[in-house]
Amino acid sequence: MSRVIRFIARLYPLAWRRRYGVEFDALLEDVRPDGRTAADVFGGAIAMQIGNWKSWGILAVAALFGAAVIAGLFVANPKVYASKAVLKVEGQGSPHDSLDAINTMVTKVEGPAGLAELITTDNLYVSERSRMTLAELIEQMKKRIHITPVAPSAADFAVVFEYSDPRVAQKVTQDLAVRFLGENGVANTSTTLSILDPPMLPQSPIRPNEPLLAGLGAACFLLMWGALSVVRRIAARGHA
């Protein structure tokens, strides 16, 4: 513990060490080298460092902290784009028949074999392949495919695929729509599918919420600025 405390004492500002270093080290040899002493010396070093900072220094450190938080949030929450195609459903049977036919097609299109083929042909999840099994990649892809009705009264439905690259998102959505048409072609059903809206190229990401992340970074900057200013004021008043 003595060595740890001596190391912590080196955290004091250099100018302070030049003036008080010898006598401070002599005092550290006399006191009990426990965790409380280490914490007190650490607190003293931090207070002395911050107490020496100018206002612009505190502002700069807080700004760097805020920028680091924003950068970290953006790295931890990469951009995700969503492309959507709308498929028109026509049929001579009842709406219930159409729904059954669509559910059968969804099961086949979202089946492991079909998705594994898409992962290979469209070269998806390249960086994830080294740390995830194919089954895990398929599960991840299934979570990124959304098939939803476009209106409560119609059987028409939308196929949405989310991906980090907008062009790949569009391409995979197109492939999924074509697979629906293919499954419709081989199925023995009176339901007919056609592409009503082809997949669009997404212009902006659906995630992350960029203004929210920027706001969090700004809040961290303000909190750090306030905390450092308070510590400096306390250190100057002599209660540190």
The site for another protein (CB under 8 A) is made up of 16, 20, 22-28, 30-31, 36-37, 39-45, 47-48, 235-236, 238-240
Shortest distance, CB of residue 222 to another protein, whole angstroms? Answer: 27
CA distance 220 to 211: 14
Distance of closest approach, residue 17 Cβ to another protein, in angstroms: 11
Smallest distance from the beta carbon of 9 to another protein, in angstroms? Answer: 8
Decide whether 143 or 239 has the Cβ nearer to another protein: 239
Smallest distance from another protein to CB 162, Å:
53
Closest distance between another protein and the C-beta of residue 30, in Å? Answer: 4
The whole-angstrom distance between residue 96's C-alpha and the CA centroid of its chain comes to 40
Q: Are strands 157-163 and 145-149 parallel, antiparallel or unpaired?
A: antiparallel
Closer residue to another protein (CB): 9 or 159? 9
**Phi first, then psi: what are they for 197, rounded to 5°?**
-125, 115
> Closest CB to another protein among 3 and 239?
239
Question: Which value, in Å, is the radius of gyration of the alpha carbons in the chain?
Answer: 31
Beta bridge partners of residue 192, listed in sequence order? 90
Which residue number, 143 or 237, has a Cβ lying nearer to another protein? 237
Three-state DSSP state, 222: helix
Give 160's strand partners: 84, 146
Q: Is the CB of 33 or the CB of 182 nearer to another protein? A: 33
